[in-house]
Amino acid sequence: MIPETAILVAIVLPLVGALAIVLAGRIGPNIREAATAITSLSLIWVVWGLLPTLMDGGRPSVEVSELMPGLTIAFTVEPLGMLFAALASGLWLINSIYSVGYMRGNKEKNQTRFFACFALALSATMGIAFAGNLFTLFLCYELLTLSTYPLVAHKGDPATVRSARIYIGVLLSTSIALFLPAIIWTYTIAGTGDFTTGGILAGKLNDPEIGLLLGLFVFGIGKAAVMPMHKWLPAAMVAPTPVSALLHAVAVVKAGVFAITKIIVYIFGIEFLFAAPSSQWLLYMAAFTIIVASLIALRQTNIKRLLAYSTIAQLSYVVMAAAILKPLAEVGASLHMVAHAFGKITLFFAAGAIYVASKKTEVHQLRGIGRRMPWTMAAFTIGALSMIGVPPTAGFVSKWFILAGAFEANNLIAVFTIIASTVLNAAYFLPILYMAWFEREHEGGKEHGEAPFLAVLALCLTALLTLAFFLFNGPIIELESQVVKGLS
């Protein structure tokens, strides 16, 4: 099919899928899961079908509606978005495989609502990935927030509802109070919000305002969880593990950092921003977030909360990489999105698998669990190493590019931050690995084996991806280099 329609299909398909899931849910779980699987498969087919067009420099775009002059709902495919879309669609398949195992293993209720909202969230994600201008991005961003709310509040008991309230509250209010005015401001001074290579604000804005606008954007996009807008992420840990995976790896937080990167690259333009001293604070902010989040993670005893804070840190890697404002760093940013996605989803799957199999949620409970759940813990190990950035894992590649960018900009703060955080990551992951593999499980622990097969399959897949990304990342790098092509 021609790319223009492909874009629309990619966005509409999950919606149709959601409908199908609701209907199929009336018939029976198996049909429903089948609907999910079919949808995600066909989505992958559609999205990845766009790759070739992109590789030879095509930028297919389609406009849906012009609300008012200059303000349109339009979608364009460009490398950053392509990467994000491909990533999300791919991980959705794996995630659904895992969710089936998890949800059934846990006998959760309202599974139909769960899968339907999941599909909706994916549709919004596709929208974000292909958004052709700020307004469309904002539209899909809000849709994503709203469609994930039921997922976070899935359990429905008072505590969960309270946390879900924090989730929706932070995300909605930041987006309305900061993101929206930033967008409108951009439209009023630039007359348009289309994502164009090299930015649209160049020369339209003076120095202090640049910093202000950047701040509105960065803090307005609460999904990026730059401190102090990170509160929602730990709160959202009440959600079932597949949802956490969705939040952390597949869609939500990625959407945040993706949006920031895209705005920096296509709205401000990195050279314009690099020239503006008042944009420096973003780097410091990100660095600060990385260090602090890692320190907090160090003190966590609950596995999922630990992972949450590590996510916050990792996200700020991407933000910081983008804020270095050098081509290599931008590539690094996009790579790190992928790398972190693979690593973190593996970790969450593992944590979820442990919970399903043994109902263990605390770090100290993991003593010797490696013997009971070898596969799971192996995957966990790979994920953890990738987080730290040890070869041969994905994390290494992205960190390499980011460091390269940092040196190119000879930005010592960035370099220092990366090294320090690497040490910290090691400091909070290695003990877990040690405990899991080499310590003896204390007596009286209840007998349990591996998690349900589907779950284990999924997490092994992601672990493999984590490794594979280290070896075969050529095409992706080439693709992403197109973003900064022509920039020194």
CA dist 134 and 185 (Å) reads 11
Output 156 or 374, the one with its CB closest to another protein.
156
Q: Which of 348, 337, 341 is nearest to 305 (CA)?
A: 348
CA dist 326 and 271 (Å) reads 8
Q: Residues with Cβ < 8 Å from 305, sequence gap 6 or more?
A: 234, 237
Of the chain, the end-to-end C-alpha distance in Å amounts to: 36
Whether the CB-CB separation of 315 and 444 falls below 8 Å is answered with: no
- Give the SS3 label for residue 73: strand
Instruction: Give the shortest CB-353-to-another protein separation in angstroms.
Output: 29
196, with CB counted inside 10 A (0-12, 13-18, 19+), is: middle
Output 222 or 405, the one with its CB closest to another protein.
222
- Annotate 94-108 with DSSP letters as a single string: HHHHHHHHHHHHHT-
Whether the CB-CB separation of 262 and 137 falls below 8 Å is answered with: yes
Instruction: Give the shortest CB-24-to-another protein separation in angstroms.
Output: 17
Instruction: Give the shortest CB-21-to-another protein separation in angstroms.
Output: 15
Output 172 or 295, the one with its CB closest to another protein.
172
Q: Which residues bind another protein (CB under 8 A)?
A: 64-68, 71, 73, 135, 138-139, 142-143, 146, 153, 156, 161, 165, 168-169, 172-173, 176-177, 180-181, 184-185, 187-188
Output 149 or 268, the one with its CB closest to another protein.
149
CA dist 206 and 137 (Å) reads 25
460, with CB counted inside 10 A (0-12, 13-18, 19+), is: middle
Instruction: Give the shortest CB-51-to-another protein separation in angstroms.
Output: 29
How large is the greatest C-alpha to C-alpha distance in the chain, in angstroms?
71
Output 30 or 173, the one with its CB closest to another protein.
173
Instruction: Give the shortest CB-334-to-another protein separation in angstroms.
Output: 26
Output 48 or 185, the one with its CB closest to another protein.
185
Instruction: Give the shortest CB-324-to-another protein separation in angstroms.
Output: 31
Instruction: Give the shortest CB-49-to-another protein separation in angstroms.
Output: 26
77, with CB counted inside 10 A (0-12, 13-18, 19+), is: buried
Q: Could you tell me the two tokens for 422? A: 């690497």
Output 216 or 418, the one with its CB closest to another protein.
216
The helix (H) or strand (E) run that includes residue 62 is strand 61-68
Instruction: Give the shortest CB-361-to-another protein separation in angstroms.
Output: 23
Output 44 or 172, the one with its CB closest to another protein.
172
Instruction: Give the shortest CB-143-to-another protein separation in angstroms.
Output: 7
Output 153 or 307, the one with its CB closest to another protein.
153
